[in-house]
Amino acid sequence: MNKEFPFLMASEKLIKEGKTTDIYFVRTKKILEKREIKKRVWAEFTVSSSPYPYFAFAGIREVLELLEGKKVNLWALREGEIVPSWDINGVFIPVMAIEGEYIEFCEYETPILGFICHASGILTKSMRIRIAAKDKIVLSFGIRRMHPALSPFIDFYAYMGGCDGVSSLAGAEVIGESPRGTMPHSLIILMGEEEAWKAFDEDMPQEVPRIALIDTYGDEKVQAIKACESIQNLTGVRLDTPSSRRGDIIKIIREIKWELKIRGREGIKIFISGGLDEYEIKKLVEAGADGFGVGTSLSNAKVIDYAMDITEVEGKPCAKKGKFGGRKKPFICEKDRIVIVEEFNKDSSLCPKCKKGMRSAFIKYMEDGNILHEFENISKVRKRVIENLKNFTLEDFSI
């Protein structure tokens, strides 16, 4: 194993040095520098083909950190902005644009795309899950399915998209919250179910919810009854039943709900984890489940497939085949969910439906390598995202 990469992980230093780029950008920069070609360009980031009709933009924080100090200007949508791939006229919607001499940022195209493609994918998936879960509790449990170096990144954007909490220590630190979770099967296996439940109740601080894992060995309904009889201040029970033993999980939830109710413990919540996505969650909400731990479908969310294209060189419009040339910016009407792409020098645009002025969606985040805005508090972004989701249905985010 290469001692420089014991965990096969690039450090922040290597990313800033351009070591995580594709070789052809290094070669391009070498050729341009040798010939002193310092042409000023306008480069746009668009989606030609999205896995969903609508997606959410994210990753601008990492991009700004990467480009800080470079002689470039940058415009982008705000975090959590929900847009389709193209406007009502079929023009690809730019989510971000960089202006400057190409040799200033060409080697960063690869990591920039990595940041926004991955972040937007997790954020969009989290939004879909939030819509499906309605007002139920959703926790991000996905870090064990990805490289551990990505745990803060995964949890940050899962939380931004609507998750109520995250399980990882590092993820919780970056969002400014306490980590959340229950207990693993290993504790049950080492101690036995009732002993483990009681030990958890005795040893954990009072602010930690008493949620008993009830499906390690026995019948879920029987174990739920035992748990509520063993722990007086029981908050909830969690089912993580493997698919080979699951049966009809909806009927199991309803049985447990009934048994708890007739014992005067209807306040005990039922949490489900294991192989969940937005479609499964939608069914479980209807069955009466109260909360969900979502793992792989969040951390392994489909990326949003952005591409960067030069659309102007030295003030002259240009674009490769299949792209739209010139400087552009999007305008949005939240009321009618309409997006129109206009030439960049236009200051306003009217919604063709309500005939009212549309919001210019581009924000100038960077000028000559200087970051112009403080990063918005993640809780504030999350609140705005959840409020905006009221205008969308799960079908809006489905293929």
> Cα 314 from chain centroid?
36
Report the SS3 class of residue 238: strand
Q: Which residues lie across from 371 on neighbouring strands? A: 366
pLDDT in tens, 365-381: 999 999 999 999 999 99
Q: Provide the pLDDT for residue 247.
A: 73
Pairing mode, strands 359-360 and 363-367: unpaired
| Residues 237/252, Cβ–Cβ less than 8 Å | no
pLDDT for the residue numbered 2:
66
Question: Beta 338-343 vs 328-333: how paired, if at all?
Answer: antiparallel
pLDDT of residue 267: 95
Q: With the CA atoms of 334, 335, 338 and 342 taken in that order, what torsion angle do they form, in degrees rounded to the nearest 10? A: -60
In three-state secondary structure terms, 60 is helix
Give dist(CA 327, CA 76) in Å, integer. Answer: 13
Tens digit of each residue's pLDDT (9 = 90 or more) over 258-299: 999 999 999 999 999 999 999 999 999 999 999 999 999 999
What does the pLDDT read at residue 246? 64
Residue 49: predicted pLDDT: 81
Structure confidence by residue, pLDDT tens digits, 23-46: 999 999 999 999 999 999 999 999
Q: Are 307 and 287 in contact (CB under 8 A)?
A: no
- At residue 6, the pLDDT reads 84
Integer Cα distance of 379 and 267 in angstroms: 28
**Angstrom distance (rounded) from CA 45 to CA 319:** 12
Sequential pLDDT tens for the chain (399 residues): 567 788 889 999 999 999 999 999 999 999 999 999 999 999 999 998 877 889 999 999 999 999 999 999 999 999 999 999 999 999 999 999 999 999 999 999 999 999 999 999 999 999 999 999 999 999 999 999 999 999 999 999 999 999 999 999 999 999 999 999 999 999 999 999 999 999 999 999 999 999 999 999 989 999 999 999 999 999 999 998 777 666 789 999 999 999 999 999 999 999 999 999 999 999 999 999 999 999 999 999 999 999 999 999 999 999 999 999 999 999 999 999 999 999 999 999 999 999 999 999 999 999 999 999 999 999 999 999 999 999 898 888 775
Predicted confidence (pLDDT) per residue in 191-224, tens digit:
999 999 999 999 999 999 999 999 999 899 999 9
Q: What is the 3-state secondary structure (H, E, C) of the chain?
A: CCCCCCCCCCCHHHHHCCCCCCHHHHHHHHHHHHCCCCCEEEEEEEECCCCCCEEECCCHHHHHHHHCCCCEEEEECCCCCEEECECCCCCECCCEEEEEEHHHHHHHHHHHHHHHHHHHHHHHHHHHHHHHHCCCEEEECHHHHCCHHHHHHHHHHHHHCCCCEECCHHHHHHHCCCCCCCCCHHHHHHHCHHHHHHHHHHHCCCCCCCEEECCCCCCHHHHHHHHHHHCCCCCEEEECCCHHHHCCHHHHHHHHHHHHHHCCCCCCEEEEECCCCHHHHHHHHHHCCCEEEECHHHHCCCCCCEEEEEEEECCEECCCCCCCCCCEEEEEECCCCEEEEEECCCCCCECCCCCCECEECCEEEEECCEECCCCCCHHHHHHHHHHHHCCCCHHHHCC
Tokens of 59: 């990753």
Mean pLDDT of the chain: 95
Identify which of 290, 269, 304 has the alpha carbon closest to the alpha carbon of residue 124. 304
Q: Burial letters for 167-201: b for 16+ Cβ neighbours within 10 Å, e otherwise?
A: bbebbbebbebebbbbbeeebbeeeebbebbeebb
Contact 237, 267 (CB under 8 A): no
List the beta bridge partners of residue 338.
Answer: 333
- pLDDT number for residue 245: 66
Q: What is the pLDDT of residue 399?
A: 58
